[in-house]
Amino acid sequence: MTIEVTRLDNGLTVVSQTMPHLESAALGVWVGAGSRKERIEENGIAHFLEHMAFKGTKTRSAQRIVEEIEQVGGDLNAATDVETTAYHARVLKDDVPLALDILADILRNSVFDREEIARERHVVLQEIGAASDTPDDIVFDLLSEAAFADQPLGRPILGTEATVSSFDEAAIRGFLDAHYRAPRMVVSAAGAVSHDALLEQARGLFGDLPGAAATQPVPAAYRGGERREERDLMEAQIVLGFPGRSYHAADFYVVQVLSSVLGGGMSSRLFQEIREKRGLCYSIYSHHSSYSDAGLFMVHTATAGEDVPEMIEALVAELARAGADIGDAEVARAKAQMRAGLMMGLESPVACAGRNARQQLVFGRAIPVAETVARIDAVTAADLRAMAAELFGAKAPTLAAVGPLGDLAPLSGIADMLAAAGA
């Protein structure tokens, strides 16, 4: 499964991974422009642009866009994240040219009709309302808001009712023109694809895109803090966060393995102690979100209001214990899970196309699987103990919580508990 990469004269990257045993392909255009690139008054516009790209071009109506892809049995979708927006398709091998043509059309020729903007604004406002009604969604927005206060990284990807209501054609085109530039765009495909054919078509469709470098994001500054929202719910949604590592950090994989040991599966420490032994929750896990210049390590769980004090006590104890007694056997198990997940992902053209595109945007090169495995294997139990002691001994943890919170200690109290437990 050879990965081939070509950079056009304007800076656009074309990457393909041929998987000759397949009859289909996954392909898309990944843009290094997510919610971090937005000014405060633009909050949510990257996501809104993603919606509007499907609402009609100079030659295709919104209905025709979906009909053309579905009449060959394919599917078309998109997603906006903090640092990227992806437009992608899955089709049979003979229909790769059609899919790429549609993707180019929606990115380059969308008309942003006023009536469609008004209609889609209503849809996105409903999406914002639905997220607000979902405690285990909104709690993560609150966590980011506290951890990266007053920064693009701390704002919701969907935007707010006020900002979304203000978007018009000029605002959408302004963001598109400023950030959808060739050096920060990747055409990526995996499966039954020919690199030469993909390259030739991409050159014809995207070769005249502006090549000027896109603006740099506002640097991230982790601050810590708390956001809590009292609601009449059966459970309290709780997320405890700590400063993590960027993709480029030398110890990035140390934090990744630590997350797996602590809360990466049913054999993890948090699941075994808090779910299995104590029965305090249905689900508990840890996760490490990384960005180009920052990271956020978090632990999420939900528990009944009356169990909140015991939950916090147990959680603090497990985090403190990680800095003292993580052993070789559980590290080996976590590494095996990570290696298996990586190898299984290589069997999916969708996963491969996305992985290859993100690596080009983040690192500017394809990362060999052997290199990733070697970095995972190099992590030791001593590395994890030191990292746990550093992360969870931080003076500024972050707390986000939604639900019945009357018995939830203030963040300062939780920080004191962490300090005392780790002493």
- Radius of gyration of the chain from its Cα atoms, rounded to whole angstroms: 23
The question of whether 120 is a catalytic residue gets the answer no
- Which residue in 166, 373, 385 sits closest to 261, CA to CA? 385
Assign 282 to helix, strand or coil: coil
Rounded Cα–Cα distance for residues 153 and 294 (Å): 10
Find the angle CA(86)-CA(1)-CA(77) to the nearest 5 degrees. 20
Rounded Cα–Cα distance for residues 343 and 373 (Å): 10
Rounded Cα–Cα distance for residues 295 and 392 (Å): 14
Assign 26 to helix, strand or coil: strand
Rounded Cα–Cα distance for residues 226 and 104 (Å): 43
- How far is the CA of 215 from the CAs of 33, 39, 75, 247, 401, in angstroms? 10, 12, 32, 20, 34
Burial class from Cβ neighbours inside 10 Å (0-12, 13-18, 19+) for residue 276 reads exposed
Determine the residue type at 235: E
| Tokens 């982790």 -> residue | 222
Find the angle CA(43)-CA(137)-CA(83) to the nearest 5 degrees. 40
Determine the residue type at 379: V
Q: How does strand 185-191 pair with strand 75-80? A: unpaired
Residue 410 neighbours by CB distance under 10 Å: 11
Contacts (Cβ under 8 Å, ≥6 apart) of 286: 259, 262, 263, 264, 268, 270, 297, 298, 299, 300
Burial class from Cβ neighbours inside 10 Å (0-12, 13-18, 19+) for residue 150 reads exposed
Contact 92, 74 (CB under 8 A): yes
Give the active site residue among 50, 116, 226, 330.
Answer: 50
User: How many helical (H) and strand (E) elements, i.e. helices and strands, does the chain have?
Assistant: 16, 11
Enumerate the active-site residues: 50
